[in-house]
Amino acid sequence: MDYFFYPKSVAIFGSFRKGSIAREILRNVVEGGFEGKIIPVNPKGGEVEVAGRKFKVRERLDEGVDVSIIVIPAKLVPGLIRELKGLTKGAVVISAGFSEVGNVELEKELVEAAKEAGIRIIGPNCAGIFGVHGKFFGSFEVRVRPGGLALISQSGAFGGAALAMGNEEGVGFSAFVSYGNASDLDESDFLRYFADDPNTKVIALYIEGVKDGKKFMEALKYATSKKPVIILKAGKSKSGARAAQSHTGSLAGSYEIYKAVFKQTGAIEVEEMEELFDAAKAFEMYSRAGRRVAVVTNSGGPGVLATDKVERLGLEIAKLSDKTIEELKTFLPPQCSVKNPIDLIADADYDRYRRTIEVVCKDENVDSILVICVPPIFIPSEEIARAVIDAKCDKPIIVNFMAGELVRKGIKILEKEGIKNFPTPERAAKALYWLSSR
């Protein structure tokens, strides 16, 4: 499927007048810096200018491309697919108006045409795809930063909102696929593909229901054997399942069965959208972590909140070795608490943080470190960020800088180094929980 996510050439079929979806997609492809060939196609021909680049609109596709994005009226799609035989490897069908509104026959015709033409289909009724490391933004959704998360979404609108939220939350993406009606390629195919994609460190899946349970279970087993898979299953409650059915036509099936499958395959199920991002951020950084956590803080209260949450989640507050405690005492002021949670108190500076992290990291009783920083009064948060970055430590470090304006610069420096911030002590603790749940 590399031709979908790392294409060398793309054709876009649709209307390119201002405000049209095809034009928005063309704009995204151009502005996203796609380096391959870009061919807009419309029987009426003409010209289109987006983002300062002028394109001749071809009346028909007359040379081979890797991927075609199709935004034309539903009833014309099967015919176009037949015409594209030998001219495109894959087609992303954005157009709606197929099985989701009862046009089951039209969708069947599309699938048969594609099979005959040897073309693989994503969609129809989808929001498109991103191959972020191939600089290919084949969707009208907001573009995202490159990173390790491949997001697979049954709901296009959920996907779009999730991309925008991911940008806010500091997530980096390797790919996005909204697969709509899954007439040909489905969630299972994408799970397998991203399991082997070298740019993808973690896969997140939003599903309401799957059609082929056996295929799904095997794909999930395969994917989880390669990398973490996070799943947000919608339609769990009675009313939710009913709504999902009318939304994607998914027979949501018994949630208990899904739950069992997730557990059996080692997939990580999250309950909320926010958790999906927190888990993804954690797995972009680390593939797993043990259960014994050391908390390092410059403020008692938030340290206590983190500690409460760590234990509530079934993780352990690590018991520091005597050697560690002795070593900490050699350089920490006597008002500091050298018991875990380790309170470096309000005037903790670069040195105090860095040395503490390094000493604690060497302790065999410690699997991971949760570093909290509330705005120090006379020390810029950048300095504490530097300490976290510079500390020599080969164990997972999860960071909670809070809050607002006062720590923004520190968070920015961390992000530049690939260290993602979790906005509350509890969410940081939960990040460690996800990491230890594999």
Q: Please give the residues from 189 up to 218 whose contact with its own copies meets the rule CB under 8 A.
A: 206, 208
| Least distance in angstroms from the C-beta of 342 to its own copies | 10
Which residues inside 401-430 make contact with its own copies, applying CB under 8 A?
402-407, 423-427
Q: Contact between 237 and its own copies (CB under 8 A)? A: yes
The rounded distance, in Å, linking the Cα atoms of 146 and 135 is: 9
Among 87, 273, 325, 389, binds its own copies (CB under 8 A): 273
Stretch that binds its own copies, among 47-55, 56-64, 360-368, 399-407 (CB under 8 A): 399-407
- Considering only residues 225, 264, 287, 335, which one is a binding residue for its own copies as defined by CB under 8 A? 335
CA dist 347 and 367 (Å) reads 27
| CB nearer to its own copies: pick between 86 and 301 | 301
Minimum CB separation of residue 287 from its own copies in Å reads: 26
Q: Does 256 bind its own copies (CB under 8 A)?
A: no
Q: Is 234 an interacting residue with respect to its own copies (CB under 8 A)?
A: yes
Residue 104 or 164: the one with the smaller Cβ distance to its own copies is 164
For its own copies, the closer of residues 225 and 335 by Cβ is: 335
132 binds its own copies (CB under 8 A): no
Binding track over 32-71 against its own copies, x by CB under 8 A? ----------------------------------------
Q: Indicate whether 253 belongs to the interface with its own copies (CB under 8 A).
A: no
Closer residue to its own copies in complex, CB, 7/423: 423
